[in-house]
A and B are shown apart, each in its own frame.
Chain A
Amino acid sequence: MFKILQKTFSTGIATNPYPQTAALVSEHFRGRPAFDFAAWQDARPAAEACPTGAIAVRDRGLTREVAVDYGLCVFCGECARVSYTGGVRMTREFELAARSREDLRITAQYELYADGTHKRLVSTDEAGAVTAVTAEMLGREVERTVRQVLGRSLAIREVDAGSCNGCELEIVALNNPVHDIERFGIHFVASPRHADMLLVTGPVTRNMEMALRKTFDATPHPRVVAAAGACGISGGIFGASYASIGAVDRVIPVDVYIPGCPPRPEALLHGILLAVYRLVET
């Protein structure tokens, strides 16, 4: 008993105060790939290298549309690695959660040279690309609302609808002393009947479709659903097949999308806070 107490006192506080302070993210961390469309000379190598088709190129004659979908991105960094002449770089940004699927998509239109490289950037559409709400802003807001509206407790039921378990590892990590999600009054519960929020990982397999629907139906109103990870948002590398339905929103309505493969705990926290915000609005 004394040994336990001694260890506890000598350890001190382990919690990383994010979002009150910046997250402890290594300089090597691969977050959002950023695109400098004007400087990008050729999107084809990146599209070719992308394992999930998050970068798609569509050519019509001497024009090209490049579509980037952060909901498909697995943050592997291949696009930046193969774009030797620049245009793509990996950033450390991870607060990417969005309230609509469209907010995770950006596009650019190019005129092309005959060899297929970019001659001129015609237009870009990056409306939803940058998350306007940081976790820090949300944190203040949410702490107040969770206390006032939800009586100091937001209950989340996690549902693995077919994931590789990578997302589960990071969701479990939210409960460790370093990330300690309970400091917001947010905790994970054993039954959807006790839950205000479902945090769903995917891809939704055919074998889990009915279980996911039943879990959703068992969750009382008001409720929000967050889809975590590339597979939950879009099917990710698994896509849709004979065994996989893919995106969570093909089965139940989703309020917040949390990109990552898997999303790091701080990214999950950001997404969960965004979902709480949504819950309060409704």
Chain B
Amino acid sequence: MMHSLLRDLREKLGEHVAPVATESSAEACFQIAPADIPGAVDHLRDRYQARVVTVFAEDCTVAEGVFYNYYVFEQPGDPGFLILRAAIPAGEPRFPSLAAQLPAVNWQEREIQDWFGLEATGHPNPRRVALHDNWPDVHPLRKDFALGQEMPPFAGEQHIYRPTLGEGVFQIPVGPVHAGIIEPGHFNFAVAGEPILYLQLRMFYTHKGTEKLFESMPIPRAVFLAESISGDSAFSHGTAFCQAIERAAHIELPARAEVMRVVLLELERLYNHIADIGAIATDVGFAIANAHAGRVREMVLGLNEVLTGSRLLRGMVCIGGVREDWSGAQLARLGGTIDQVEREFRDLTALVKTSDSTRDRLEKTGTLTPEKAEALGVVGVGGRASGVDRDVRRDHPYAAYARFPFCVPVYREGDVWHRMQVRMDEVRESFDIVRRAASALPGGPHCAAQQPIPADRCALSAVEGWRGEIVHWVRTGRGNRLERCKVKDPSLNNWPALVEAVEGNIIADFPVINKSFNLSYSGTDR
């Protein structure tokens, strides 16, 4: 596959295409010239139906005098990833933008502009995204920028929103501090009466310099930082990070650890999906369903605590496996609670699905068409409700998922009702996966022996968090540290989909549409 792909790329782009060594057989990497980027992406899409998973950059100017841009692709039916790398000379800090043809990379290219100072030439909307307009002219992910650099008081421009013009048309600014107990972000609605004409988003209020911070920490400590990328996905992000390190350092996971990770990844999906179903119900006034969902969710959180010492599954995953093994009593509690939660969940779904008024509010609300979902590269629950048949667990199996086949629910309607339906289906699949995994738990150790991580190794890792595709990419450094850790949360793909989905809906339905995607601000902003 690797050789035929290289031959093909050389035919298309020229003999300068060169293979780059990778640590994992699941990754093929080729170096191309920056000018080749648009042609290569077109070719891979037309010929292989390849989709761009993520785009990111790295500063290697000290050692090699270049920045690298990485373009990660996946192809239907191929469990591996293809990575194209373009070397961008420090003296010519620009690369051709793909955003006009490929809206899915719009924000990610702008992140590269903000964080590395590389210009995405031809970008349709090259304004800042990750650093707000009032920030000074800095590029924090460059190696010559210090993590603790004292920033001058912010005095630059305020963000200018697209004007809202016309008779009876007005603007509703919301946030960053929202009315509910949720994360901060700014929504600027243009409305004509009740219907929303368009929504403009301003994110990155919770930007914490996480990717820069990764470069300052010993790897074992960085696992805890990965758990704090998005608190509701602590175990998924932690696993994605550990997997990347394990692949980079060729650490073989004990079979028991792989299965334990599957159980915990599914428990994370369970508690979040159950909470979301309740939250969607409450946003259309069905508070009782939310009360039951809150109660059932507590059962799962109690189980999490029994299995990991933390209700949110923190402090469990580690490089090489998991930190603590499970006793027979803990496993018995797992089985008993899953049975109980399943019974309660059946009642909960019956309540929601037999409520005509709920159905009336949710059907055809916040519709995202399959065409738009595909163009925007929407992932996870939001994608599967709009015809995007992707699931990392099935498409790029990790941990022990290959041993526990399951159904991936896909609908084409793309409304709030179907985003809820995807969650309901996935919850039922999760019960099944957890049961099968728990009964097939192999013996042996729960963690590989700890060893120092060799320097200058790169690896990619993808995990299907409950929200969708999480990607981590690492380059290890000397002294058990990291040179770079790229984090892509599924929310980053899906925020632009929210903008599309709310158009034409009444503003009173915005909360429920937003909740039906339930995106992470912290995961996006990092």
Contact = CB atoms under 8 A, between A and B. Distances in A.
Do the two chains bind?
Answer: yes
Interface of A: 3-4, 7-8, 11, 14, 24-26, 28-30, 49, 51-52, 74-78, 81, 90, 158-173, 175-178, 188, 190-192, 203, 205-208, 211, 215, 231, 236-244, 261-262, 264
A242 B151 contact: yes
Given A163-B231, A241-B208, A261-B314, 12 more contacts: A4-B288, A11-B295, A24-B302, A26-B302, A28-B306, A30-B309, A168-B183, A175-B181, A207-B206, A241-B209, A242-B146, A242-B209
A208 B298 contact: no
B297 A28 contact: no
Interface string B187-207: 000000000000000001111
Contact of B181 (A49, A172, A211): A172
A8 B287 CA distance: 12
Secondary structure of the A contact surface, majority rule: loop
A243 B228 contact: no
B145 A163 contact: no
A160 B209 contact: no
Of listed A28, A78, A170, residue having the most chain B CB within 10 A: A28
Contacts of B350: 3
Nearest to A158: B181
B206 A162 contact: yes
Contacts of B230: 164-165
B330 A28 contact: yes
A8 B309 CA distance: 31
Contact of B315 (A4, A76, A192, A231): A76
Contact of A168 (B151, B231, B292, B310): B231
5 contacts: A74-B224, A176-B297, A203-B208, A208-B176, A241-B148
Given A167-B231, A176-B291, A28 B212 contact: no
A81 B324 CA distance: 10
A4 B351 contact: yes
B1 interface: no
Contacts of B180: 190
A164 B181 contact: no
Nearest to B354: A3
B307 A28 contact: yes
B305 A51 contact: no
B149 interface: yes
B177 interface: yes
B312 A166 contact: yes
A56 to B, nearest CB: 14
B277 to A, nearest CB: 14
A175 B182 CA distance: 13
Query: Which size bracket describes the interface of B in this complex?
Result: 35 or more
Of listed B207, B208, B291, B312, residue having the most chain A CB within 10 A: B208
A90 B315 CA distance: 13
Contacts of B212: 241-243
A238 B228 contact: yes
In the complex, the 3 A-B pairs of residues with the closest C-beta atoms, listed nearest first: A166-B231, A176-B294, A243-B209
Contact of A159 (B149, B177, B311): B177
B319 to A, nearest CB: 13
B463 interface: no
B20 interface: no
Contacts of B224: 51-52, 74, 76, 237
B179 A205 contact: no
Contacts of B140: 242-243
Given A3-B354, A172-B181, A77 B228 contact: no
A237 B145 contact: no
A121 to B, nearest CB: 28
Nearest to A167: B231
A229 B40 CA distance: 47
B437 interface: no
Contacts of A176: 291, 294-295, 297-298
Nearest to B297: A176
Contacts of B204: 207
Contacts of B516: none
Interface string B302-341: 1001111111101100000001000000100000000000
A87 B288 CA distance: 48
A29 B148 contact: no
Of listed B179, B183, B184, residue having the most chain A CB within 10 A: B184
Contacts of B275: 172
Contacts of B210: 238
Contact of B147 (A28, A206, A241): A241
B467 to A, nearest CB: 11
Contact of B231 (A192, A206, A262): A262
Nearest to B138: A242
Contacts of A28: 305-309, 330
Contact of A242 (B132, B145, B302, B305): B145
Nearest to A178: B298
Contacts of B305: 25-26, 28-29
